[in-house]
Every structure is written in C-alpha cells, then in structure tokens.
Chain A
Amino acid sequence: MATLELRGIRKSFGAVQVLHGIDLQVAEGEFIVIVGASGCGKSTLLRIVAGLETATEGSVLIGGADVTRLEPKDRDIAMVFQNYALYPHMSVFDNMAYGLRIRGLPRAEIEGRVRRTAEMLGLGDLLRRKPRELSGGQRQRVAMGRAIVREPKLFLFDEPLSNLDAKLRVQMRAEIKRLQRRLGVTSLYVTHDQVEAMTLGDRLVVMNEGRAEQVATPMEVWREPANTYVAGFIGAPAMNFLHGRLCEEGHAVDLRAGPAIALAAPPASATEAEVTVGIRPEHVRVVGNGAAGAIPLKVDLVEPLGAESLIHGILPSGEGLTVRASDCSPLAGTTLPIVLPAEHLHLFGGDGRRLRLAHARGAAAPVRVGA
C-alpha cells in the first residue's frame, strides 16, 4: 500500500508527443480509473508507471520514493494485462508462484501465499491446470491472483476485462471492486469503457489526446464535466450539444433551435455570447402538445430498450437531438414537443470549457423570453 504521484509526465515517440504533461496524486488505497478513447495515451501512462516505458520528462513517485529510473521489478508493482499474459506452459500454481520464486521466498511461504490467494479467488481446485484448460474468466482470475500474491504497493490494470463477454465482464467488475476494497491496495486501472470507469473508480482521470481533461469522482465528472470532450465521453447515450447565445446579460440562453431559456444565474466567466449548450438525453422532458416553451422535435428513429426508448430526432434548427424517455415511443416522422429544463443545462464556452454559473442554486423553469 502506498501513494502514487505523477509529476509532469511527458512522452514522445520520435517527433510524436503522446503525453503532454500529466500530473496526478493518488492517495493510499485509492482506486483511480484512467479512461479515454483508444490512442489517448492512457496505456502509455500506465506503462510508464509500471516502468515498461520510460517517460521523456517528469517523474513517478511510489510511496514518496522516486522510481522513475528503476526497473519494473524494483518498483514493487503488479500488473494485470488485457490478454492476461499467463505463462502458457506453467500450471496455475506456477504462474502465481513464479514472481515469488524469483524473489527467493522460502518454499513454504510461497505455497501458503499462493493457496490463500487461490482460495480467495475460487481457484483452489484449478491449481494444477494449465492456462489453456481454463475459461476466459478463470484466466482473468489467475492473472489477478498473480498480481495479488505478490502483495505489491500498487496494482496496475490494463483493460483487464476487455477480452471477456458482456455478462462475465459485469461479474468480474464487481469482483475486482470488492477485492480492491478488501485488500486496500492503491490501484490504477485503464479502460476505454465508461461504465467500468464509473462503477470502479474512486476517481476518474478522463484523458484525451495525451492530456488529462478532468480528474474527479465519477459523479462529479458526470454532473459537472469540465469540457465538451468529457461531457460527450462520459454518459451513454452521449450528451446532446446545441448552439446557443447568451442574452439578457447572461441571464438566459437563446437556443438556435428554439426559445430562450432563463438561467438560474449568469455564467461567472463568459467572455463571449456564443456558447454550446449541453443536455443529457435522459434530462430532456417530453411534454404535451401546446405546452409553454416546447420545441417540436421531428422524430427520425426510435430505439426501444425495454423499459425506455431512445428517440433520435431533428430540431427546427437542423440540429440532432437524442431523448431517453421511459413512457413514450412515438412513431418515426411524427413531431414530439420537448422541453429542455434549465437546471440540467451545461454551458460550454467557445474553447469547450465549462462555464460555471455565478450562483448556481435553485432551478428556473423554462420561460419564454422575447421571440
């Protein structure tokens, strides 16, 4: 168990810079999930922490000690790989014991540690088997066991659930969470799956093109995304973005698609009138015909999900909008009156950054202003 600190990590492969200065402080026992689209540099960052890749600049501190120049084996870490990377010719027992043997632990202690870990993971009966005789989930568990048995300061997970089928993934996700709680080992977990990120992490690092766009708890990231990238990346289906223009000295936002909507307070830091208005599909309200301030949405496609439906439509401004509604499944081609509640609007400036409201409190009902 230890803290982890990254200071200004940069990495270039030749002329291509893939990490542009990442800073991160991880508390003891914290579960950090690094999430981002493929190619955002998240795996490179993890490999730099592991020591499999050297940072071009910056330093890595584990438990306060600078390990930037140390070999992976001297960093006291354990890593779980996406394809498990089990030694195919070794039994489950040997796979788990290999690192301990190299470390020169006494035979009895190795035996004890491996057995205890195997019991904990439900692998007790499989210790004699070879990896090829195991199912995907069992292999995954052995890979976890190999990491746990080492009792490292830091767990590193590189998309460990990507090779499992959907059902097993959900099951293993919960198991990883439970294990990490129980062992209390500081963990860094890389994934491209936002559901995994939201459910597992104490805090998320949302990465985009080699930058950490936001570092915050899952709910904070969801509720107050720092910019349009984070807003669009976290949440499924993705947040809708509409063109808007601040009016009435910032007390309302005039949508290109329809009426102006009064805001609870003007944005604190708006420098220009043009803004991007974001709203999550589940926050769009379907209203009755002729309701005040309703915007007609021309329904294009309806995807029923069972309890809910996803309604894809087109606003009068030509912008697309997705609605997630629970008791409404209109026919394609019809028009659906909708309302965008002011308390659920996210405003982003021209540079994509979130505009915080000066005194965001209370919810203002959508009011027709002017027009």
Chain B
Amino acid sequence: MMHGPVSTTAAEAIARAEAAATRADASRRRADWLTHAILILGVALFALPIWIVLMGSTHDVATISRGEVPLLPGPYAVENYTAAWAEGSARTTRVPVSAMMLNSFVMAMLIAVGKIAISILSAYAVVFFSFPGRMLAFWAIFITLMLPVEVRIFPTFKVVSDLGMINTYTGLIVPLIASATATLLFRQFFLTIPDELVEAAKIDGAGPMRFFKDVVVPLSTTNMAALFVILFVYGWNQYLWPLLITTTGDVETIVIGIVRMIGSEADTDWHLVMATTVLALLPPVAIVILMQRWFVKGLVETEK
C-alpha cells in the first residue's frame, strides 16, 4: 500500500474523521465537567457562609460558644427568632430587632424614593431644558460621583449636627439622598427619548410638567424599578453614616444593631446574632425577588 494523501481511501478518511470526532467529544465532555466543577465551587463559596448563619441561628448559645460550626439544623429555631425579634440581645443593646428593622426599612425606603425623585427631576432639567449653566450643573453633578460618602463625611456630620439632626430620621436620610449615579442613569435614558416625541407633545399642547408626568415618568417606570432595587439595597446596607449619626436605640438600624450585639467574644449571644443576620437579609432579598421582573426589564430593555 502506498503512502501519502493520494492513496487515502474513503474508508480510511471516514475512520479518521470519526476518531477526531470522538476525541473532540471527549475533550468537550472534559470541558463541561471542568465548567461545572468551577461553578459548583463558586456557588459553595457564596452560599456556605449563608448556610452556616442559617444553621447557626437554630442552635443554642452553648453550641456556638464551644466553637462548633453546625452544618445541620438544630432544635432552637423558634426560640431564637422570637427572642431576637421581640427582645433583642440581652447583654448588649436590648433593642428588639423588629424596631431596628423598621428603622432600616424606613431609611432604605426613603433613601431609594428620595434619590429617584431628586435624580429624575435633575436629569429632566439637564436633558430637556436649555438654561445658562446647564453643562456646569451637569458637570457639578458628575464630579460628585468621584466623592464617595466617606470623603465628605466629616463636613457632612458637622452640618447635620449643627442643625441638630443627630438621632433623627432626617439626619440619617437626607445626606444620603443626593445621587450622581441615578441622575446619570436617568440622563442616559432621557437622551434616548427621540426629539420628535418631545415635539409631538409640544404640538399636542403639553407643557413641561405635563410632558414629564404623562410621557417621561411612564416611560421611565422600568428604569425606576431597577434603580429602586439597587438603591433600596444600598440604603439598607448603609453602615458608616448611621454609625456616626445614631447614638441611641431610637433610630438605630439593623446593620448597626448587629455590630453592637457583637460585644466581646465571651458574652456575645451568637445564636441571636445569627438569627438577626438572617432577619436582616430578608427585606433586601424580598425586594429583589418581588421586583425581579421589572429589575431585569429595566436593565435590559429599551422600550421605544
């Protein structure tokens, strides 16, 4: 038998192709397996701490204090959660979790709603009106993006404390409302609204406020929903500012509450801390799940 491509018979070619296909299959299967392994590892990394917290909240204080890390549910779930919800941690602040949750909820809600209200109006002004200093206003908003809360926290604290707003909802919420990010997002969205739509409304006789109410707001609902989810979670998770501004239990938020519960290593009610942590997780998760449909729509869709 001769060698070389000329002598290659059809059968040989088919056999070779089949072998190549098998090899490709095998390597594809190996790749699939590897992908899954990485994914499972990732899920474990994210989910394990939450699982431990969830399990820990169902054991009594002794188990956790012994240094055990329970991976299976224990018998004290009901007791732990009722205690946390109604009484709080005995050895630390004594503020019930329900009260702190309410504080957190009010704060997160007002921050989210306030941020959306302020930023949609400022974006509306910047996009649809021409007035002297428009670009200056826009850039001023834009530049504040580079200044995180932490950078301006002492001057802000000074202002708030001089105004006597320590330990008030106003002091807790107002400084967090001004938002460059949301303004920019709305601006980008408004820029995609065709000029003709504005003109059609003008010819129909709609003034600026009417156009805002009848056209801009309805068109922005999905964006508003997406922002609401992001901002609610942002507000709920605020730590540094509430830490500075709340000194009594009255307006204490849940995130601060958890930190205060963890006193020294010895006298921490770990079972209650765990239960409180689980409770603190619930509202943001609920918001995300409830608004998931609009959230995804708002991020993906541009309805026109």
Contact = CB atoms under 8 A, between A and B. Distances in A.
A and B are partners in one complex rather than unrelated chains? yes
Interface of A: 50, 52, 71-73, 77-79, 81-89, 98-99, 102-103, 132, 146
9 contacts: A50-B199, A52-B199, A52-B202, A78-B203, A79-B199, A81-B196, A83-B194, A88-B303, A89-B215
A73 B194 contact: no
Given A102-B210, A132-B303, A82 B203 contact: no
A77 B204 contact: no
Which 7 A-B residue pairs are closest in the complex by CB-CB distance? A73-B205, A99-B204, A85-B196, A85-B200, A81-B196, A102-B205, A89-B218
B66 interface: no
B113 interface: no
B197 A87 contact: yes
Contacts of A99: 203-205
Given A79-B199, A86-B200, A102-B206, 6 more contacts: A50-B203, A72-B199, A84-B196, A87-B201, A87-B215, A89-B218
Contacts of A73: 202-206
A102 B203 contact: no
A72 B202 contact: yes
Interface of B is mostly: helix
B204 A102 contact: yes
B254 to A, nearest CB: 37
Given A98-B214, A102-B210, A132-B303, A85 B197 contact: yes
Contact of B205 (A81, A89, A103): A103
Contacts of B214: 87, 98
Contacts of A81: 196, 199-200
Interface in B192-232: 194, 196-197, 199-206, 210, 214-215, 218-219
A84 B200 CA distance: 9
Contacts of A98: 204, 206, 214
B303 A85 contact: no
A158 B204 CA distance: 16
Interface residues of B, number: 18
A48 to B, nearest CB: 13
Contacts, number: 58
A168 B199 CA distance: 26
Interface of B: 194, 196-197, 199-206, 210, 214-215, 218-219, 303-304
A72 B219 contact: no
Contact of B196 (A78, A83, A89, A103): A83
Contacts of A71: 202
B170 to A, nearest CB: 35
Contacts of A85: 194, 196-197, 199-200
A98 B215 CA distance: 11
B203 A79 contact: yes
A82 B195 CA distance: 12
Contacts of B197: 85, 87
Contacts of B200: 79, 81, 85-87, 146
Nearest to B200: A85
Contacts of A79: 199-200, 203
A81 B195 CA distance: 11
A73 B205 CA distance: 5
A78 B200 CA distance: 9
Nearest to B199: A52
A102 B205 CA distance: 6
Contacts of B204: 73, 98-99, 102, 146
A98 B218 CA distance: 14
Contacts of B218: 89
Q: Report which residue of B194, B200, B205 has the largest number of chain A beta carbons within 10 angstroms of its beta carbon.
A: B200
A103 B210 CA distance: 12
A286 B135 CA distance: 66
Contacts of B303: 88-89, 132
Contacts of A84: 196
Contacts of B201: 87
Q: Report which residue of A71, A102, A146 has the largest number of chain B beta carbons within 10 angstroms of its beta carbon.
A: A102
A88 B203 contact: no
Contacts of A132: 303
B304 A88 contact: yes
A95 B51 CA distance: 52
A79 B218 CA distance: 23
A72 B203 contact: yes
Contacts of A87: 197, 200-201, 214-215
A151 B200 CA distance: 16
